[in-house]
Amino acid sequence: MPFGITIVRQNNRGLIETLGKYSKSVESGMHFYIPLVQRVRKVSLAMSPLSLPNYSIITKDNADVSASVTLNYHVTDAQKYTYENTDSVESMAQLVRGHLRDIIGRMELNEALGATAKINQELAIAIGDLTNTYGINVDRINIDELTPSVSIQAAMDKQLTADRERVAVIAQAEGEAKSIELTTKAKNDAVMSTAKAEAEATKTRADAEKYRIDMIQSGLVEATDEYFKNQSINAFSDLAKSDANMVVMSEDKISQLGNIPAIGELLKSKKK
């Protein structure tokens, strides 16, 4: 009976079927089989990428978002992968979509858009090891894109624009209020400084005047009668030089004029 020869490449697994029934698995290398009776299926064990196209998901607050997922997987059990599922890869993809819809469906839109890392982590835990079910293990899974629908995006853009305008108006109003506050404070400080300077100048002048009066009073306390007589003579001398020719004095003061030598001599000459 002639034998056929097949080569199973490295990182592949060979599945030998005899009369259509699985009989054994073979490793990479050269193997013999019986043509027409046996068939060799070859299954790659290498890591393979898979991209899941955009599909719609409804969030907890009824927002429509589109999700795009990529993942890497490899076959861990060639027999289960080939015989226990018609299409293990598609079954795995459906499982990923289902878990993703469940995770995002429990989140509101804003939370979902800002929590892709958290969703990736929960999704990886939910999928777990699929070896027992599909003979596959998911090595990496990632949400590449999570975007709201066009209508929701337009509404979000309007809200964002409104928020930015509101912040700008508030900032402008705060700036103007701060400017007014600083201007008012500067004016008040100037007024207070001027008033303080005037008060200090008035106090200085008052202190100087008080000092002058105190010095005069101190000098008068120690002055003798000769000083006052001399002052009277000076006063009458100044009066004689002026245009005035009349002095009003009380009677008791007039009687004392004779005590002043110059006035006494003047009065004696008048009597003669």
For 42, the token pair is 């070859």
Q: Are 59 and 109 in contact (CB under 8 A)?
A: yes
The per-residue pLDDT for 179 is: 82
Whole-model pTM: value is 0.54
pLDDT in tens, 66-108: 889 999 999 999 999 999 888 989 988 998 999 999 999 898 8
Do strands 38-44 and 29-33 pair parallel, antiparallel, or not at all (unpaired)? unpaired
> 10 Å Cβ neighbour count for 100?
24
* Mean predicted lDDT score pLDDT of the chain: 80
| Domain 48-148 superfamily per CATH | Band 7 domain (3.30.479.30)
Question: Which among 77, 73, 110 is positioned nearest to 89, based on CA atoms?
Answer: 73
In one letter, which amino acid is 263?
I
pLDDT in tens, 11-55: 999 999 999 899 999 999 999 888 889 899 999 999 999 998 888
Query: How confident is residue 221, by pLDDT bands cut at 50, 70 and 90?
Result: low
Provide long-range contacts, Cβ within 8 A and 24+ apart, for 178-185: none
Query: Where exactly are the structural domains of the chain?
Result: 4-44, 48-148, 223-271
For 99, the token pair is 């878990």
DSSP H or E segment with residue 55: strand 48-58
